[in-house]
Chains A and B, each alone.
Chain A
């Protein structure tokens, strides 16, 4: 609670980690938050967040009543406009100020395990923005669906294909799993597609006996870096 008697989003966020999931928790118990952001560029320190889209996955289901979406006001147009299609003007009109969006998002995210394709950058820029705005460090665990795919591939989940044909980009996974990839490059659209891919990966993971959060959250390392 803050001085005005309102629950503080950031405080709520911190409190949610007082009791959270550990490595040994079964996958079905965890609240995953599948996330995508569109940004003004690829420099986590300098660029700004344009949109955030997220949807939760629990017990192997995408929970449509547990989703988040925001457009953020930002200062400069960059060449990334051609990817996500949102101009500064549009964001000024329909967006919310960054601190508001971040607070809301943290209140939504809580201790959810962040999931996304190449999610590292999204986590990095969110962390950077929160640190700059609130001096807050993002505590959430995260799972990169790309890494999960690569690990499953090593276990033999995608047999019978030549290495060259193994396209594990988000578009490639959509093709592989028959998910229509429309609405790509909007944050909510990509989050929803990634969530569908994630459902399939979870199922595959179960087949390879990856049953706990620790099992599926393990990082993938390129063979040449392994000891």
Chain B
């Protein structure tokens, strides 16, 4: 007789870790039942790189295992550290190949050896386990929003919408009703008078029996099919689709998509048997999610003082966190934040100008452009961090140049103070438009860039690279465009500039791995935190900038966009650049979500703040960065150490 208490204990252990946590216990018991338990003392080889794979893969029950690959120079590079619950020596999909690394125990280690031939068919039956392995094996897994499988759990597009909370924006009073006997032309007048697109046809108890829309009027009345004198019940669509008042926005959108409806009628209990309480239009939902919430934008531009402006900016952050948590598309988010901050800046500019005029200063008739630098320049400032700004103004006639300088400095000073009031602190290094050095006429700015590009080492270019991410956010954008053209022309004249910049871009390396509560860098030093900036964003940002400058993509400053454009410029490396773009997205999302939750800048993350899946995800980001840096080094012919 064969029963399975021991297999059950093994299964219980496995059940704590992905991908096994996604498998049924009975399946795990069977999997464990053909397995083995192995013990290794510290310093033993579990398997060696290049050795043919056995029938088993391993799960660490206890202990630590280091993974090494042979380096080009013949030594061994530590590439990962695996601990309890981690997989070892597994292959999947890419077929049975020799081991790709050497596994050496770093402490006494107990391993569960499980059979591939039992495991692989099992995983195929559990989509969540399959997805985990996809993550595990890919360098940069597909973003969670893309792997829609249409399952009942509503993954894919629906996922983030469904998490967005109950849809609260419909105005209970703000909809039209009419009786079935009313003439079509009367209803049309009502619609036009109230600027509505649709009216609900109700019975005497206010229960919905149909719906009439503008589209019906166009399609059937204007064409003569239905007479304007006919009762509206001959035109209405019936029965009407109803929903309850507590459905979330995502569910509403999906329902409209499914039934190809533009309107949903909200009733007290969601059935047509109770009175109508509202009407939701597709247009309204799309306004909420498809583009910038217009109301917020209008309010910002109408804000009367700094306090009002600051409150509205807070509201934008609330929306942002909501979007982040629901895994909204990052491209939408960066545009959303950039738009909001652009509006805030423009409102601040208008306020500042008024303050100066009130003081009796006279506004010079000289164009200027307010420049965002650094992460704001790249549209990557999802958390309110220090202002890094500059101001360029058109070259003024000599006789008013001193006055212009005074005016713009005062203007910048006022704007900076308003922005501080909105939660954007001053840059501690004074990289601000209100600093004389960074508030200059066009010609001076051009001279700055010329010097930096031609004498990069003397100018200490490392500290100036973010000026190459400049983006116009206020005033006349032509001045910014002129500067960019100038930069590009100067770079052409200075062939050493790009390689130098590329070399500097290699300064920040991602860590080798994350395990337990530590992060290990290439030198083997353990750190307690992941530094989202130094470890992930900076190397990506710096490399993207070099490529963008080399390929004259001066009009785009966003790192994701830069990589996507590079994927078109160098189609052979399309996959790498797309992975890099995805790595940026993942790092930004992680940094901003954790930052918003903790109320800091999200730069330092302790490994325990991440789920095991997120850790795998982040390791994928690191692997992509390493590959990107390797490619960049070869591309710019840098000497690799």
- Which of A's residues lie within 8 Å of B, judged by CB? 53, 55, 60-65, 67-70, 96, 104, 177-179, 182-183, 186, 188-189, 191-192, 195-196, 199-200, 202-203
B62 pairs with A53, CB closer than 8 A: no
Partner of A69, one of B6, B34, B62: B6
Residues in chain B near residue A96, CB distance under 8 A:
1
Docked CA distance A191–B9 (Å): 12
A68 to B7, CA, bound (A): 11
CB neighbours (8 Å) of B108 from chain A are: 177-178, 200
Do A189 and B5 form a contact, CB below 8 Å, given A64-B32, A200-B108? yes
Interchain residue pairs A-B with the least CB separation, the first 7: A188-B5, A62-B37, A199-B39, A61-B36, A69-B3, A192-B6, A64-B35
* A186 cross-chain contacts in B, Cβ below 8 A: 5
Given the known interface contacts A62-B36, A63-B36, A200-B108, the answer about A69 and B41 at a Cβ–Cβ threshold of 8 Å is no
Contact B6 A104 (CB under 8 A): no
Q: Are A195 and B37 in contact (CB under 8 A)?
A: yes
Chain A residues contacting B113 (CB-CB under 8 Å) are: 61
Most A C-beta atoms less than 10 A away, residue of B6, B39, B110:
B6
- By a CB distance below 8 angstroms, the chain A residues around B41 are 203
List the A side residues contacting B36 at CB < 8 Å.
61-64
Which residues of chain A have C-beta atoms less than 8 A from B85's C-beta? none
Cβ A65 vs Cβ B6 within 8 A? no
B residues within 8 A CB of A183? 5, 9
Whether B39 and A53, one on each chain, are in contact in the complex, defined by CB atoms closer than 8 angstroms, is no
Asked whether B193 is an interface residue with its Cβ less than 8 Å from the other chain, the reply is: no
Given the contacts A178-B62, A179-B62, A64 and B7 also touching, CB distance less than 8 Å: yes
Contact, CB under 8 Å: B37 / A64: yes
Report B-chain residues with C-beta under 8 Å of the C-beta of A177: 108
- Partner-A contacts on B (CB < 8 A): 1-7, 9-10, 32-39, 41, 62, 108, 110, 113
Identify 29 residue pairs between A and B in the complex whose beta-carbon atoms are under 8 Å apart, listed by A's number. A53-B5, A53-B6, A60-B39, A61-B38, A61-B113, A64-B33, A64-B35, A64-B36, A64-B37, A65-B35, A68-B1, A68-B2, A69-B1, A69-B2, A69-B6, A96-B1, A104-B1, A178-B108, A183-B5, A183-B9, A186-B5, A191-B6, A192-B6, A192-B9, A196-B39, A196-B110, A199-B38, A199-B39, A203-B41
The interface residues of chain B lying within 8 Å CB-to-CB of A196 are 37, 39, 110
Could you tell me the distance in whole angstroms from the C-beta of B113 to the nearest C-beta in chain A?
Answer: 7
**A119 CB to nearest chain B CB (Å):** 18
Q: How far is the CA of A63 from the CA of B7 in the complex (A)?
A: 11
Contacts known (A178-B108, A196-B110); A55 close to B6, Cβ less than 8 A? yes
Q: How far is the CA of A60 from the CA of B32 in the complex (A)?
A: 18
Tell me which residues across on chain A come within 8 A of B6, comparing CB atoms: 53, 55, 64, 67, 69, 188-189, 191-192
Chain B proximity of A202: nearest CB distance (Å)? 8
B38 touches A60 (CB 8 A): yes
Closest to A183 in B: B9
CB distance from A121 to the nearest CB of B (A): 21
A166 to chain B, nearest CB (A): 19
* B residues less than 8 Å from A202 (CB atoms): 39
With A69-B4, A69-B5, A186-B5 already in contact, the answer to whether A203 and B10 are too (CB < 8 A) is: no
Instruction: Report Cα–Cα, A60/B41, bound state, in Å.
Output: 12
Residue of A at shortest CB range from B34?
Answer: A65
User: Nearest chain-B residue to A62 (Cβ)?
Assistant: B37
Additional pairs, 20, CB under 8 Å, beyond known A64-B10, A69-B5: A53-B5, A61-B113, A62-B37, A64-B7, A64-B36, A65-B33, A65-B34, A67-B6, A69-B6, A70-B1, A177-B108, A182-B9, A188-B6, A189-B6, A192-B5, A192-B9, A196-B110, A199-B110, A203-B39, A203-B41
Residues of B within 8 A of A189 (CB): 5-6, 9
Inter-subunit contact A61/B37 (CB<8 Å) = yes
Cβ distance B287 to chain A, nearest Cβ, rounded Å: 56
B612, chain A: closest CB distance, angstroms? 20
Min CB distance, B494 to chain A, in Å?
61
Known contacts being A179-B62, A189-B9, is A67 close to B32, with CB within 8 Å? no
Question: Roughly how many angstroms separate A63 CA and B34 CA in the complex, as a whole number?
Answer: 8
Nearest B residue to A54 by beta-carbon distance?
Answer: B6
Q: Which residues of A contact B32 (CB under 8 A)?
A: 64
A62 CB contacts on chain B under 8 angstroms: 36-38
A186 to B5, CA, bound (A): 9
Q: How long is the Cα–Cα vector from A199 to B33 in the complex, in angstroms?
A: 19
Nearest Cβ distance between residue A85 and chain B, in whole angstroms? 13
Please indicate the chain B residues that have their CB under 8 angstroms from the CB of A53 in the complex: 5-6
In angstroms, Cα B10 to Cα A188, docked, is 12
A207 to B597, CA, bound (A): 53
Closest to B4 in A: A69
Q: Kindly state the separation between the CA atoms of A63 and B38 in the bound complex, as whole angstroms.
A: 9
Cβ contacts under 8 Å, B62 to chain A: 178-179
Instruction: Give the shortest distance, in Å, between B10 (CB) and chain A (any CB).
Output: 7
Minimum CB–CB distance for B42 against chain A, Å: 11
Measured between alpha carbons, how far is A96 from B3 in the docked complex, in Å?
13
* Minimum Cβ distance to chain B for residue A167 (Å): 18
Instruction: Give the complex CA separation of A203 and B3 in angstroms.
Output: 29
Cα-based distance from A128 to B610 in the complex (angstroms): 57
CA distance A55 to B37 in the complex (A): 11
Closest to A70 in B: B1
In the bound complex, how far is the Cα of B7 from the Cα of A67, in angstroms? 9
Alpha-carbon distance A177/B1, docked complex (angstroms): 31
Q: Given B1, B5, B7, B39, which contacts A200 in the complex, CB threshold below 8 Å?
A: B39
B contact residues around A69 at 8 Å (CB) = 1-6
Q: Which A residue sits closest to B36, measured CB to CB?
A: A61
* Minimal beta-carbon separation of B4 from chain A (angstroms): 7
Instruction: List the B side residues contacting A178 at CB < 8 Å.
Output: 62, 108
Contacts of A203 in B (CB 8 A): 39, 41
User: Whole-angstrom distance from the CB of A33 to the nearest CB of chain B?
Assistant: 13
Question: In the complex, what's the smallest C-beta–C-beta distance from B1 to chain A, in angstroms?
Answer: 5
List A contacts of B37 (CB < 8 A).
Answer: 61-62, 64, 195-196, 199
